[in-house]
Amino acid sequence: MPVLASHRKPRTKVRTTTPAVGFTTAALASVTLLSTQSATAAPAEPKPAIEDVQKKVDELYRQAGSATQQYNRAKSASTAQRTKVDTLLSDVAKRTEKINEARRELGAYAAEQYRTGGIAPTATFFLADDPQAYFDQSRLMSRSTERQQKAVDDFRTQQAAASKKRAEAVQSLEKLTETQTALRSSKQNVQTKLTEARSLLSKLTAEEKARLAELERKKEAEAKEKAEKLAARQAAEAKEREAAEKKAREEAAKESGGGSGSGSGSGTGTSPGTGTGTGTGAGGSYAAKAEKVLAFARAQIGKPYVWGAAGPSSYDCSGLTQAAWREAGVTLPRTTWDQVEVGTRVATSDLQPGDLVFFYDDISHVGIYKGDGMMIHAPKPGANVREESIYYMPIYGSVRPA
């Protein structure tokens, strides 16, 4: 049987584009959103120039140096206060023992009076074997009463003194707590500044670190050049002083006669040595002390800077100066702020070996002048004790400690 053809009209396939339109719309929307976000987002912060990084790091180290001096001051105050508290507590303990002794003595008097009881003076007189015996006994009782009264007075005195010392001890303990709080705060401040400085340095690339090192070398070279100029100027001035002194000696020799000329000539060998000081006797004494100071300081070269350290294996700046001058028999305070108040102020042009040179407006750093515009100092965290130009940092002022 033949197959019948289908009279149904074949269905035409229609390609739908709805999904494509939806995808395009979504894509456009995404692009628009991203564009909007990009337009509204804050621009990336530009990386600071290496010169700015150097300034920032130097400033953080300076701030850390200032915080270190605060720490040193708080530590010294805390140590002194602890000593005072211990002394007061020891005194209170001794006075308490004296109070207990006085109390035991009073107890013995009270017990004795309780056992013997008390008789009226009139009855005692009539019961006595003879009047003289009564009066003898009366004098003994009077002296006994005086001893009892003295014991009572001593007890009250000791009690009042112990109470006063106990109050002082309490106040000292409160002050000790305050200084220890300041000590912790200063320590945290130092650590914060140093952490920030290290963080800045750690973000530098190898190329940036090389550039920073080059800037440091340039800074050191400029400082060294200034030191050489100071050294040349000081040498010229010393030569002028020597010539003037020689001329004065020659003129004095002429006035005194030719016979004394040879004697004057033999003295010229020692004159330049004393001429470099501030005087013959005092200058020589200071020079001897300065020699000990510098000998000690040179022996510390290469040891690490550690904030709050005063030797013998590490130092901060004021710890080094304090230890060095101790070798010459001179006791300096612990902080730069106190050390700058010791001795005599001197101009930079008049510096002599052994003088202390202070830096920055906040007087947060110090070094020991060694001559020729150079100093020995404990520079900063990560560095060792070394020789350096005094012009590496801005100079605040200088002192001659002895």
Active site residue 156: no
Whether the CB-CB separation of 106 and 151 falls below 8 Å is answered with: yes
Active site residue 128: no
CB atoms < 10 A from the CB of 136, how many? 12
Active site residue 7: no
Whether the CB-CB separation of 200 and 41 falls below 8 Å is answered with: no
Whether the CB-CB separation of 346 and 399 falls below 8 Å is answered with: yes
Catalytically annotated residue among 183, 317, 320, 402: 317
CA-CA distances (angstroms) from residue 280 to 242, 329, 352, 372, 395?
Answer: 14, 21, 15, 22, 29
CA distance 289 to 274: 15
**Two tokens, residue 391:** 């012009």
Cross-strand bridge partners of residue 345: 399
CA distance 97 to 103: 10
Catalytically annotated residue among 193, 377, 380, 400: 377
Whether the CB-CB separation of 315 and 385 falls below 8 Å is answered with: yes
Catalytically annotated residue among 289, 303, 334, 365: 365
Phi, psi of 195 (to 5 degrees): -65, -40
CA distance 191 to 185: 10
Q: Which residues are the active-site residues?
A: 317, 365, 377
